């Protein structure tokens, strides 16, 4: 046993449980590919300032949760706490925004935040994200939400809810911000929360502490302060979702945890996960490009938690399809048979048949034990006498029936049997 273990708040993905995580990633990615989203991958660490400007200096992510380091050259870097700001940076850096718009991309990878570890919340976690950059269109907001819903449904997840809100834009947000600040300044809040009131008061609405939530009764809400353009935009998003058969709940307090959101904001929650109920979410972020020094680039996107989705599936008792089990297991007896059957194994795999091999020359008894443990339908056994006769023994592991098959025809025979 090693003297080392995974750092606190992290985990190792190992078979067979890791198959569920792969299945979730693939299911989320599938509708994105069909909708024209291309794959993008950014570094696991970025300049600290990218997140300070983009995510927001008042957010818990920036003030408390980022893993930062200083390079030998003196640069300050941060392990990636979220995926949107790096994607926007990459799109701008490689001038993708100068081509056809919107730029539609998806990504999959790990994020890192220094949080208090608990069920469903880790310091290292996996997400699949999607971003559509360069267009201000309610249909784009609705498209991304529908793609996420379709991904969840394809996995068999049923008991999730979609929460929806609008956070307004540059015209109406300042008016609401001032009204909310006036209300919050009259509450009994701790020093840190009072500081947040002055920097980003909307974040106080997202405070989960009961003592704060009780005081928020009667607080002004964004929907009452939306300008006509934002009201119309939000109604179009709602109408498109309804027409697509997507149910949602209006949530006036939904602000999400990042400063860059504007207009459409949404979150997927699952009531089977306890306090950590969010499984994914996102929204529109029309000003993020400008925050990090780029041109105006209205955009929308989401990130869905792979870990949280797996937990939600397990809470519902959903069993995901497992990888193809071993169909054929080869057991060689002797060096000559080892070379011959290894060639058979290679060809079977190339023909799309899941095949394994008794490594280590452990003999017939141990080799057949391994074949039975693998769940294979057939075992292929060969020794010196078999090869001298130009045959191998093919054994049906369910019925126990064993027949000799010519070595040069065994691949075709197994293909016929498995078909």
**What is the spatial distance between Cα 385 and Cα 296, in angstroms, rounded to a whole number?**
76
Tell me how far apart the 2 most distant CA atoms of the chain are, in Å.
94
233 belongs to an annotated ligand binding site: no
316 belongs to an annotated ligand binding site: no
Q: If DSSP states are collapsed to H, E and C, what string results for 293-351?
A: CCCCCCEEEEEEEHHHHHHHHHHCCCCCCCCCCCCEEEEECCHHHHHHHHHHHHHHHHC
**What is the spatial distance between Cα 274 and Cα 277, in angstroms, rounded to a whole number?**
6
177 belongs to an annotated ligand binding site: no
Asked whether the beta carbons of 255 and 48 are under 8 A apart, the reply is no
63 belongs to an annotated ligand binding site: no
Secondary structure element (H or E) that encloses residue 382, with its range: strand 378-382
**What is the spatial distance between Cα 259 and Cα 166, in angstroms, rounded to a whole number?**
14
Buried b (16+ CB within 10 A) or exposed e, 264-273: bbbbbbbebb
Query: What's the angle, vertex CA 390, arms to CA 384 and CA 396, rounded to 5?
Result: 85
Among 49, 98, 82, 126, residue whose Cα is nearest residue 292 = 49
Give the number of other Cβ atoms within 10 Å of residue 224's Cβ.
9
- What are the tokens at 71? 């390079």
Give the β-pairing of 160-166 and 249-250. Answer: parallel
Q: CA dihedral defined by 130, 136, 142, 148, rounded to 10 degrees?
A: 10
83 belongs to an annotated ligand binding site: yes
127 belongs to an annotated ligand binding site: yes
**What is the spatial distance between Cα 347 and Cα 352, in angstroms, rounded to a whole number?**
9
Asked whether the beta carbons of 133 and 98 are under 8 A apart, the reply is no
Give the number of other Cβ atoms within 10 Å of residue 320's Cβ.
16
260 belongs to an annotated ligand binding site: yes
84 belongs to an annotated ligand binding site: yes
Residues flagged as binding site: 82-84, 113, 127, 131, 256, 260-261
Residues flagged as binding site for L-histidine: 82-84, 113, 127, 131, 256, 260-261
């Amino acid at each position: 046993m090693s003297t080392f273990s995974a750092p606190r708040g992290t985990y190792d993905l190992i078979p067979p449980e890791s198959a569920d995580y792969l299945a979730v990633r693939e299911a989320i990615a599938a509708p994105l590919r069909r909708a024209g989203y291309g794959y993008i991958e950014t570094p696991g660490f970025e300049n600290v300032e990218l997140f300070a400007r983009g995510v927001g200096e008042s957010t818990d992510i920036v003030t408390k949760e980022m893993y930062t380091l200083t390079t030998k050259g003196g640069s300050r870097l941060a392990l990636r706490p979220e995926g949107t700001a790096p994607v926007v940076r990459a799109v701008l850096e490689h001038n993708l925004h100068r081509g056809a718009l919107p730029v539609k991309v998806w990504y999959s990878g790990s994020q890192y935040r220094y949080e208090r570890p608990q069920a469903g919340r880790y310091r290292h976690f996996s997400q699949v994200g999607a971003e559509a950059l360069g267009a201000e269109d309610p249909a784009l907001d609705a498209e991304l939400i529908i793609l996420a819903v379709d991904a969840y449904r394809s996995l068999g997840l049923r008991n999730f809810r979609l929460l929806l809100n609008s956070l307004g834009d540059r015209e109406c947000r300042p008016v609401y911000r001032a009204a909310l600040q006036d209300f919050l300044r009259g509450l009994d809040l701790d020093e840190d929360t009072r500081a947040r009131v002055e920097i980003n008061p909307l974040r106080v609405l997202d405070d989960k502490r009961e003592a704060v939530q009780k005081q928020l009764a009667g607080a002004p809400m964004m929907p009452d302060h939306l300008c006509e353009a934002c009201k119309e935009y939000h109604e179009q998003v709602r109408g498109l979702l309804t027409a697509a058969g997507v149910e949602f709940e209006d949530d006036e307090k939904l602000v999400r945890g990042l400063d860059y959101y504007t207009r459409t904001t949404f979150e997927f929650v699952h009531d089977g996960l306890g306090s950590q109920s969010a499984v994914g979410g996102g929204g529109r972020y029309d000003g993020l490009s400008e925050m990090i020094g780029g041109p105006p680039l209205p955009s929308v996107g989401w990130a869905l938690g792979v870990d949280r989705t797996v937990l939600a599936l397990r809470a519902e008792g959903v069993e995901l399809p497992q990888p193809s089990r071993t169909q054929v297991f080869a057991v060689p007896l002797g060096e000559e048979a080892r070379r011959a059957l290894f060639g058979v194994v290679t060809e079977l795999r190339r023909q799309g048949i899941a095949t394994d091999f008794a490594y280590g020359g452990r003999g017939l008894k141990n080799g057949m034990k391994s074949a039975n443990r693998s769940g294979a339908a057939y075992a292929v056994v060969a020794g010196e006498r078999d090869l001298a006769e130009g045959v191998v023994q093919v054994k049906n592991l369910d019925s126990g029936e064993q027949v000799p098959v010519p070595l040069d025809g065994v691949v075709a025979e197994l293909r016929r049997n498995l078909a």
